[in-house]
A and B are shown apart, each in its own frame.
Chain A
Amino acid sequence: MNIDLVKRIVLPLLVLIVIIQVWSGIAHTVEDFPTPSDTYVAAFGGLNEYDDEVVGVLSDPFYIENVDDKGIFWQIMESLKRVFGGFALALIIGVPLGLLIGMSKNAQYAFDPFIQIFKPVSPLAWLPLLLFIFQDINLTAISTIFITSIWPIIINTALGVKSVSEDYMNVAKVLQFTPMEKVVQIILPVAIPFIFTGMRLSLAIAWLVIVAAEMLTGGIGIGFWIWDEYNNLAYHNIIIGIIIVGLVGFLLDTIMGLIANYFDYTKKGRA
């Protein structure tokens, strides 16, 4: 038996036991704080502490009661749609802009100060302004994610372009490549692993930001759902929400990592 595999399974389980102990401790001290078993029942259904039959959040994630009352699956889908909408927009604008900044010193001088100033601003600071412009929850959330995602994409794309070795460019010069051929045949292959690193960072931050953004915009989405459960005094659902957000984020990052590796010529197991 692979001893490393055993460790990888057993050690996290030990930590899980500690976490549940601490959690129970908190639940005993803080009044009305959900215990692990309450939360389990709230998630998967069963009998609650008053012996009432409860339908779990996760036992029917696909229900649609009405526009304002949908299962947790739909909440997550709504958040994901916004994240990918904003993320896709950021890609469409960020990659060409990053290529330009990486290739042209003038473009770098022109844009760099603005990138440096706007990059550290929390995207949530833009949210009221965007809400005022669009007067629409969805567009506001998407454009907030756009602003979140665009900086790492621009910066990493430009970095990728700059890491193209002088030697490759000399090859391109001797062969008299046109600017377009240089981009497609030399610059993009070098820059793509960097672009994917930027995309992975962006997506991770976007997933962080969407929860907070939806708490502010309201309506639908996992962030709003968590806030709504707070207002409903259903604190166990907040814990369920946290775990689900974590799992989805982990899944997104893993998928992005796999895609990034697929396009990275240095990681094809042959370099």
Chain B
Amino acid sequence: MSEFLSLKGVEKRFPIFGKDDYVAVTDVNLEIKKNEIISIIGHSGCGKSTLLNMIAGLDMQSEGSIELNGKKIRGPGPERAVVFQNHSLLPWLTSYQNIEMAVKKVMPELSSIELRVRVEKYVSMVNLEHAKDKVPGELSGGMKQRVGIARALSINPEVLLMDEPFGALDSLTRANLQEHLMRIQQSVKNTVIIITHDIDEAVLLSDRVIMMTNGPNATIGEILEVNLERPRKRVELQHDPEYIRCREAILSFLYEKFAKEDE
């Protein structure tokens, strides 16, 4: 079971009328182990969201294969839950109902009591007991994203895919949510792939950081191992030599080797 999630020679082309296809990403080869936390970092337009969408099955690759547990991914499915950047909660349902809808669909065999217990469990996992009967419009951005995470985890996915999950939040809220995520990950232990453009977030959260070159024809430039013990403490890490090494490696990749001018 070394190859849990594997990407082989993955390429994505978008046809442009009257011109050659636009090659967003090409030749992506990646093996992801079970329970591993991976960050994919890169400048905007490097195709990192495209990559995530292909793993999610929301988008099909043009070349290559993506396999989970040795089975080719052919479409979206609940074993690959997605936390969307803009939370994507249904605005007419309360926090509780948003989670309940997902659990009900994925685990139809649950009795009504089991269903309630399960939904309550994930509501409290993200500390939202007080907000479970509120609709998304009444929640702050950070709370909405926590509901999004709870919804994704509640269906017991093998892989949790997060597309810039904290990108739309202010930095304090973002730090708070990173803590939530690390705490939850300690207890749930599933595979997580996080798309991010935040260097500290990448180092803090992940076991490996995948650095993407710039598009078009974006591919994996470097892979960085983050050898930091868990649980990780944000404040203590600031002076940790390994943390500093990782930060500098990513900085140098993004701003020296593959610097990008503002368009």
Contact = CB atoms under 8 A, between A and B. Distances in A.
Interface of A: 165, 167-168, 170-171, 173-177, 181, 185-186, 189, 265-266, 268, 270-271
Contacts of B82: 170, 174
A32 B221 CA distance: 93
B81 A186 contact: no
27 contacts: A167-B86, A168-B90, A170-B84, A170-B88, A171-B90, A173-B57, A173-B58, A174-B56, A174-B58, A174-B76, A174-B77, A174-B81, A175-B101, A175-B102, A175-B155, A176-B76, A176-B78, A176-B105, A177-B105, A181-B105, A185-B90, A186-B90, A189-B92, A265-B91, A266-B91, A270-B138, A271-B137
B144 interface: no
B106 interface: yes
Contacts of A174: 56, 58, 76-78, 80-82
A189 B92 CA distance: 7
B199 interface: no
Interface string B173-209: 0000000000000000000000000000000000000
A265 B97 CA distance: 14
Contacts of B137: 266, 270-271
Nearest to A268: B135
Contact of A175 (B57, B86, B106): B106
B78 A175 contact: yes
Given A167-B84, A189-B90, 9 more contacts: A170-B88, A171-B84, A175-B78, A175-B101, A176-B105, A185-B101, A265-B92, A270-B134, A270-B137
A167 B56 CA distance: 13
A271 B106 contact: no
Interface residues on B, range: 20 to 34
Nearest to A192: B92
A174 B58 CA distance: 8
**From B92, B135, B155, residue with most partner A Cβ within 10 Å:** B92
Contacts of B92: 189, 265
Interface string B68-97: 000000011110111010101011100000
Contacts of B76: 170, 173-174, 176
A181 B134 CA distance: 23
Contacts of A170: 58, 76, 82, 84, 88
**From B75, B80, B101, B155, residue with most partner A Cβ within 10 Å:** B101
Determine chain A's interface SS by DSSP, over half rule: helix
Contact of B88 (A167, A189, A270): A167
Question: What 8 pairs across the A-B complex have the smallest Cβ distances?
Answer: A265-B92, A271-B137, A167-B88, A173-B76, A174-B76, A189-B92, A175-B105, A171-B88
Contacts of B75: 173
Contacts of B138: 270-271
B56 to A, nearest CB: 7
A271 B77 contact: no
Contacts of A270: 134-135, 137-138
A168 B80 CA distance: 16
Contacts of B135: 265, 268, 270-271
A270 B136 CA distance: 9
A177 B81 CA distance: 14
A262 to B, nearest CB: 13
A186 B102 CA distance: 12
A261 B107 CA distance: 34
Nearest to A174: B76
Nearest to B163: A170
Contacts of B77: 174, 176
A260 B22 CA distance: 46
A189 to B, nearest CB: 5
A175 B102 CA distance: 7
B159 to A, nearest CB: 11
A78 B237 CA distance: 80
B18 to A, nearest CB: 22
Contact of A168 (B58, B81, B88): B88
Nearest to A190: B92
**From A174, A268, A271, residue with most partner B Cβ within 10 Å:** A174
B147 to A, nearest CB: 12
A270 to B, nearest CB: 6
Nearest to B136: A271
B150 to A, nearest CB: 14
Contacts of B106: 175
Contact of B91 (A173, A176, A177, A271): A271
A195 to B, nearest CB: 14
